[in-house]
Amino acid sequence: MSQSWTDEITAELHGISKKAPGTIALPTGPVGFAFPPGSDGPSDAVRNSPEHLLGASVAACWLLTWGLVADKFRLDVVSTTAVAKVSVVPDGPGLKLDSVRLEVSITVRGDREALEGKVLKACEVSSRGCIVEKALRPSLRAYDVVPSISWV
């Protein structure tokens, strides 16, 4: 893929306090954000923290890349789900991202003995191709993609 582009995302904070909510204007519509309740943010459960949005980006990027790679590897993938776990730790007067763990559940149709190595290789290629992982990996203590494969 030889294309390049720039996406523009607008965010707005509605007030000045730790409990102030905000809105991000995404191409598909607005998404609310705020500090998480565990960080003295509002108890409003419909608000996403920046860590939630980052976890969503990690999972979505890997899954989209996986779809392309699995197709190139000619794998018969029945389903794939990803759970991103983003860890935040204290850092001086603030916080920092410490680690990301992406737990991927993949169901593949075919013979396990014949295809397991190919599926694991496709997972590695997907990680190397995911732009969110490329951006985050160097600044984190750990970035792990943990695949769990089942066969039908």
**Which of 48, 63, 82 corresponds to the end of one domain?**
48
Tell whether 85 and 44 lie within a shared domain. no
- How much is the mean pLDDT over the chain? 91
Tell whether 28 and 55 lie within a shared domain. no
Tell whether 66 and 89 lie within a shared domain. yes
Residue of 39 and 6 predicted with greater confidence: 6
Tell whether 36 and 54 lie within a shared domain. no
Strand partners, 11: 24
Residue tagged 């108890």 (tokens): 43
Tell me how many domains the chain contains. 2
| Distance separating alpha carbons of residues 92 and 79, to the nearest angstrom | 42
CATH, residue 147: 3.30.300.20
User: Average pLDDT in the 131-135 region?
Assistant: 95
User: Average pLDDT in the 2-22 region?
Assistant: 85
DSSP state of 110: S
Tell whether 63 and 42 lie within a shared domain. no
φ, ψ dihedrals at 25, nearest 5°: -90, 105
Q: Give pTM, 2 decimals.
A: 0.87
**What is the pLDDT at residue 43?**
62
pLDDT-derived band of residue 16, with 50, 70 and 90 as boundaries?
confident
Provide the residue range defining the domain that includes 7.
Answer: 1-48
